[in-house]
Amino acid sequence: MFKHIIDNDIELRLVNVQYAEEIFKSIDSSRKHLRKYLPWVDTTKSAIDTRAFIDNSKRQYAENKGFDAGIWYKGEFAGVIGFHNINPSIKGISIGYWLNERFVGKGIMTKACRVFVDYAFNTLELNRVEIRCAEDNFKSGAIPERLGFTKEGIIRDGELLCDGYVNSLVYGILKREWK
């Protein structure tokens, strides 16, 4: 099973059904915070829904189409980070992520993203990594900016969220730009 220790406080583990209840409880306890930018939050009503997410993630992993890892902070489940939308024609991939509100502002996601970008370039031998976020999601947008990504543009009405369409910012970084 995939496991990566980032530092004394942060660990990444491949999502697994044994964590379904913890993941669901984290979503449920941070529902108001998460639903503003994540359209799937309202349809995640029980640990059964979380298990379906985990099953889909495991299928993705088995088919070499990406994977999701749980983020553990000081032994507590804190959020998820994942690879999505592999584009073999340009050797590119997208990273998605979320954190329980209690863990925001501790640098956890920046460290997890750094590990994922390193993995994309050095292990998967990809050429491009992309992160998208809602235009007004400043905390999420700060992560790729801290990591040296380039803000490449805005996709108007690029995402349908709970309160309607929002513009999406697109950030990208190429292997030759990654330090």
Residues ≥6 apart with Cβ < 8 Å to 10: 71, 72, 73, 108, 111, 112
pLDDT digits (tens, 9 = 90+) for 58-88: 999 998 888 999 999 999 999 999 999 889 9
Does any domain span residue 66?
yes
Does any domain span residue 157?
no
Tokens describing residue 79:
């959020």
Does any domain span residue 38?
yes
Does any domain span residue 61?
yes
Q: How many domains does the chain have?
A: 1
- The predicted structure's pLDDT at residue 146: 97
Enclosing domain of residue 90: 3-128
Does any domain span residue 171?
no
Does any domain span residue 74?
yes
CATH number of the domain encompassing residue 57: 3.40.630.30
pLDDT digits (tens, 9 = 90+) for 14-70: 999 999 999 999 999 999 999 999 999 999 999 999 999 999 999 999 988 889 999
